[in-house]
Amino acid sequence: MTAKRVALVTGASTGIGRSVAETLARNGYVAFAGMRDPNGRNRAARDEVAGLAAAGIPIEAVALDVTDDASVAAAVATVVEKTGKIDVLLNNAGGCLMGLTECGSVDLLRRLLDTHVLGTQRVCRAVLPHMRRRRTGVLAFTSSLGGRVVIPTTTLYCAAKAGMEMIAEGYKRDLASFGIEVVILEPGMVQTKIFDNMWLDDDTARAAEYGALGGVARATLEMVKTMKGPPPEELADVLLRLLEMPHGQRPLRTTFGADAALVDPVNVAADEATRALHAVYGVDGG
């Protein structure tokens, strides 16, 4: 078993996931950058990670498609076989959908939920038996300010992020007795390629029935492509600081960016309501 801490990051071919994997690898971790199809569509990303490893940085690409049970199981088995443990899991894989709420088909929503919600659960269920056996670990989740409030024209994406947040919050209570902690990152605008790979609502006939409003999503997409946010490396540094905190001192939710800070009052109110509800039901909030 390696003496270094071991981190598995999903959705690590680019953007936040890639930055987190590299940052952790440069700061005392052995990092596994999970990515879909590393021998095909993400070959370039795999080769970049291999270049870092050749330079002595303890990072490795691993094939991991969060929408596929066998892929998830194989990736987790590979990490455990090579290192003997997983200390940190960052559930980061995702995609963003823009459009009017009615105009996103059920198939498109299913695809979104399979990544953000079902995919999160798949990976957690694969990793947690190892963490629970060792009675230590951190589950981290890349959410969004859209996990707390609806961002215009991204309702279905926000619904998926909200689902991820509820899973994360449930794990916080369930896993407390095992010494496993949960942290949720809630970034706002971050400089990644997310808008280059944006999904758009696919029921154009219904969108047309909304008149001018039906074209708002596409106009909004072009607008947000010009907006600038902090680089993903800064968010990776935030997660690193959270991981370096002593056990029991890590906050459940951490916003990132001036826009995301607008939901801080929502988080405070939700925490108070959660504690009160737990008291009513006579359960330990974790």
pLDDT tens-digit readout, 168-207: 999 999 999 999 999 999 999 887 776 667 788 889 899 8
Active site residues: 157
pLDDT exceeds 70 at position 221: no
Reported as a pLDDT band with limits 50, 70 and 90, residue 83 is: very high
Determine the 3-state secondary structure of 183 from DSSP: strand
Determine the 3-state secondary structure of 17 from DSSP: helix
- Residue-wise over 33-66: b if at least 16 C-beta within 10 A, else e? bbbbebeeebeebbebbeebbeeebbbbbbbbbb
Dist. CA 206–CA 25, nearest whole Å: 47
Arithmetic mean of pLDDT over the chain: 93
Per-residue pLDDT, averaged over 6-12, amounts to 98
CATH number 3.30.450.70 given to 5-97+117-196+229-281: no
- Provide the edge-to-edge strand list for the sheet that holds 29-35: 59-63, 29-35, 5-9, 88-91, 137-142, 180-187, 253-256
Dist. CA 128–CA 122, nearest whole Å: 10
pLDDT exceeds 70 at position 276: yes
Token pair listed for 236: 């990776």
DSSP class of residue 268 equals H
Per-residue pLDDT, averaged over 84-101, amounts to 93
Token pair listed for 209: 């029935």
